[in-house]
Amino acid sequence: MINISINAVEETMTLPERAKSKEGYEFNPSESTWKIVDQTAVINFQFEELSDHCDENLIVNFKFALLYYIENMSLSHASNMHKLFINLCSSLPNSDENRIKSITSTLVINYKAHLGKHKEWYLGSIKGFFKKWKRLGYPGIDDEAIKLLNGMRLKGNPKGNAVRTMDPVKGAFTENELLSIHEELCIKYSSGAISNREFALAWLSMAVGLRLVQFGMLKVKDFIVITAADGSVRFMINMPRAKQRGVIARELFSERILCNEAGTALLVWIKQLKADAIDNIDPEELPIFPRWGHESPIGKHHMTSQMLAGELNKTINFLKVVSERTGDLIKFHVTRFKDTVGTRAAEEGHGELVIAQLLDHSDTQNVRVYVESTAKVAGIIDKAMAPYMAPIAQAFKGMIIRSDSDCPDGIRISAGSPGTGDVGKCGHHGFCGAAAPHVCYVCVKFRPWIDGPHEKVLNELLDERKRIHDITNDKRIVEAKDRIIMAVTQVVTKCNEMKQLEVFNG
């Protein structure tokens, strides 16, 4: 940490050539761009843009204040202050002859007016930085500006709005959207369109919902396979903790039990990874998701969170899943899996402490939104709504058949109710263990009869959904069969269209 008196600062404003972030990574503050590593990420603090708006002395003063934040606070917080200061300076009119020399009360008033009500929190966020800048004794912040800021009541950063409002573009995925992602992921993987690595990364992201910086720190030795005495297999992973103050990378871990799908996907990928490794290092020390030849603070071949985000985005977007809420392709961002894990945990009745532990938060202040968003009321899909929602969901992926010759080797599937008949045939050519006939409607191998009793199946499902809703009023339980309802509705609609076409064609 640099300690300089006010007089000393006014006389000599020379930045040091060496400094160290709180996480222990060194950089050169005298350079025009500060490149600082943060676990598996690299954060660039660029100052060239400020030269178009600010006096050179103000830029140097800002760097000294920012340097304190980097040395004593989290790097992400310092990065936010850097971005907000640039936003402030670049949003106000100035000229070469009238560059900003200090943060004045007039500048604060003009910036507040420029932001408006919806972005007022920008000023609220940087307010503390300006006050600390002043207390450190560095020039650049007028006394009147601090007095004005102290007297202002400013809105804070509106955290969690996407979750709280169940935003269909930025918030948590619905049960149907998540199931659609699962289905498309498995279909693309089984066809060879998605690699073992892409499949494992996607499943792990869905299963744990944690930050990709943690995935970048993972090593093969963190993945654990446990075989019980009865031969059953369980999968676990030790996730390195992230964003913990004063903790260096891979110092603390949190144990996670993985679902069979995620565990099996990782098992297959890690087997391939060990076989394809290009470096002569201990296989257990290999990063689970490597970028060969890349250097990072964690070790050789570890990827940054930005690299992993690009890879995951590419995989999910490749699935081309349609949201039943918007009718458009799902807009994906890595935080949506995290929000989905938090929301589902709250819907299952878990409290803030459990959710904070699941999402690797050190306190509960940022997880309350998940509990607040879980109103135990579910919209009912009724007979009037189902035909409109079903085509959007694209839940049915099979093929409608007219006779046995269209699926000669398939096994007949009963509608379930006595005397109702068969709904179609199974193209798996064998017993899969699923709960027929309902689950069959969302299977790509299902071959429903054009004259099958699909409307009866649909009516039974809708009646059962309403009955469960009236008894439990529980969103998660009620939504459990929504995707099947949509798939059956699609089959009913397609069968009717095909029959009408046959009548029209004579």
- Please report the pLDDT score of residue 106 as a whole number: 93
Long-range contacts of 126-134 (CB under 8 A, 24+ apart): 126/81, 126/84, 126/85, 126/88, 127/152, 127/154, 129/65, 129/69, 129/81, 129/84, 129/85, 130/103, 132/65, 132/68, 132/69, 133/61, 133/62, 133/65
Between the alpha carbon of residue 372 and those of residues 165, 334, 339, 407, the distances in Å are: 10, 22, 13, 50
pLDDT, tens only, 100-133: 999 999 999 999 999 888 888 889 889 999 999 9
- Please report the pLDDT score of residue 10 as a whole number: 44
Global pTM exceeds 0.85: no
- Please report the pLDDT score of residue 386 as a whole number: 56
- Please report the pLDDT score of residue 391 as a whole number: 54
Asked if 321 and 329 touch (Cβ cutoff 8 Å), the reply is yes
Matching CATH number, 175-322, of 1.10.150, 3.40.50, 1.10.443, 3.40.1440: 1.10.443
- Please report the pLDDT score of residue 249 as a whole number: 67
pLDDT, tens only, 18-61: 998 877 778 999 888 998 876 656 788 999 989 889 989 999 99
- Please report the pLDDT score of residue 8 as a whole number: 38
Asked if 113 and 145 touch (Cβ cutoff 8 Å), the reply is no
Q: Where are the domains of the chain?
A: 6-151, 175-322, 386-504
Closest CA to 74 of 117, 39, 126: 39
User: pLDDT under 50 in the chain at which residues?
Assistant: 1-12, 246-247, 375-378
- Please report the pLDDT score of residue 432 as a whole number: 61
